[in-house]
Amino acid sequence: MTLAIDGGAPIVSERFPMWPSFDEAVFERVLEPLQTGKVNYWTGPLGRRFEKAFASFCGTPYAISTTNGTSALHTALAALGIGPGDEVICPSYTFIATAFAVLQAGALPVFCDVDRTHTLDPLRVPEKITEKTRAIIVVHVFGVMTDMAPILDIAESHGLMVIEDCAQAIGGSFNGIKAGAVGDAGCFSFCQSKHFTTGGEGGAVVMKERDATWLARSFRDHGYEAEERFAILEREARLTYVHPRIGFNYRMTEIQSAIGLVELERFENWNLKNRQRNGRYLAAHLNTHPVITSTPTDTDQRTNAYWWAPFTVNIRALNVTIQQVVSAIAAEGVPAQSVPWPEIYLQDAFQKRNGFGKLNYPFNDPAARNINYEQVLCPTARDLGQCTIAFPVHPVYNLEHMDQYIAAFHKVIAAYSR
């Protein structure tokens, strides 16, 4: 059978449904702040309402909404007191925002390898700890939960904090605890490509510790004395302008919060439910294929949130690269991706240590260790980048779409097998 990429007939003739796709209720709810003129976090009630609902969903006492997932990470790092001279261990195998947020906080990322689950390898973490290490960032890549138990043990024994990057893992869980609520802080993205979006961008930090939460609220809002500002707002008095610390403007809008409230209402019973159905169906039907070496399966401890469903293949059994495999599958009319991020430390920002301004901050900070990123190598991350195929499993897709994935996979692999 001739591949579509070579001129043959594609398996799918109609495009898959568009993602994101909004609940009809969104279109009415976003009118409220527009009609009332209460479009800012401090003039309307929706931002605080969304934060309360999102904290309840995650099982944490507190949530702080932010402009995006990157600002959520920056806010969490700052609230936990991480800054110049500090080091934060994080995986190299993820979107670059995780490491850039560490630089924004004035600290330096120390890159650690992942294991075959695509998440931070607990066995590699101890060798990365120095006297300057303050925290570990885990990234639940593709929605696959990191093995948190050994990470937490390592952190406790070395007095480190644990930050979860949950941008791709809303609704995942570890030992029944939702993503974001396992460590000291959880950071989320509501970008247009994620599990759900608050209108294109948006983010949140969830926390359990009250004092750190108020520091986070202050940091994301110009360094205001946030607790006093909330108290004054509740009394409907004039807002004060008291700034005891440096901060940024990372507030979400009321329109974004209105969208978030609607999408959160249907998240578990529609969005996450369909994602998990789709991802598990793919895993069940592909895990016996001889070229497949790993599938995104759940365990007794780790429940996958299925942003995408990643499958690794024995690339040596094929006569093409993984990029060629993915291109051929996509030509069959189904969406497919290779790993969309390279190893972060290979970027010029790290290889050439390109920081901020004339002082090249924070790389040349006198308090910082001189890390040579040219010497960093994470072999498992490199291998995964050369053998991983990821299928989006958005909730607007049904099992017929999953069958089309499977048919395209079988057709392409049969054509490219040695």
How confident is the model at residue 1, as a pLDDT? 85
Q: Which residues contact 392 (CB under 8 A, 6 or more apart)?
A: 19, 308, 309, 335, 337
Mean pLDDT of the chain: 96
pLDDT tier for residue 228 given thresholds of 50, 70 and 90: low
| Burial annotation 249-280 (CB, 10 A radius, 16+ → b, else e) | ebbbbbbbbbbbbbbbeebeeebbebbbbbbb
Q: Is the pLDDT of residue 100 over 70?
A: yes
Mean pLDDT confidence for 127-132 = 98
pLDDT tier for residue 231 given thresholds of 50, 70 and 90: low
pLDDT tier for residue 403 given thresholds of 50, 70 and 90: very high
* 158-170 per-position pLDDT tens digit: 999 999 999 999 9
Query: Greatest CA separation found in the chain?
Result: 74
pLDDT tier for residue 233 given thresholds of 50, 70 and 90: low
Query: 292 burial class (0-12, 13-18, 19+ CB within 10 angstroms)?
Result: middle
* 321-344 per-position pLDDT tens digit: 999 999 999 999 999 999 998 899
126: helix, strand or coil = helix
- Phi first, then psi: give them for residue 189, nearest 5 degrees: -120, 135
What are the start-end ranges of the H helices in 82-140? 97-104
pLDDT tier for residue 395 given thresholds of 50, 70 and 90: very high
Mean pLDDT confidence for 402-406 = 98
How confident is the model at residue 225, as a pLDDT? 83
pLDDT tier for residue 58 given thresholds of 50, 70 and 90: very high
Half-sphere exposure of 311 (CA within 13 A, CB side): 28
Give the DSSP letter of residue 309: E
* 173-209 per-position pLDDT tens digit: 999 999 999 999 999 999 999 999 999 999 999 999 9
Query: 111 burial class (0-12, 13-18, 19+ CB within 10 angstroms)?
Result: buried
Q: How far apart are the first and last CA of the chain?
A: 16
How confident is the model at residue 227, as a pLDDT? 73
pLDDT tier for residue 236 given thresholds of 50, 70 and 90: low
CA-CA distance, 239 to 249, in Å (whole number)?
Answer: 16
pLDDT tier for residue 242 given thresholds of 50, 70 and 90: confident
How confident is the model at residue 244, as a pLDDT? 85
* 295-325 per-position pLDDT tens digit: 998 999 999 999 999 999 999 999 999 999 9
CA-CA distance, 392 to 403, in Å (whole number)?
Answer: 13
pTM of the model: 0.96
How confident is the model at residue 101, as a pLDDT? 98
How confident is the model at residue 302, as a pLDDT? 97
Q: Is the pLDDT of residue 239 over 80?
A: no
* Alpha carbon of residue 2 to chain centroid: 38
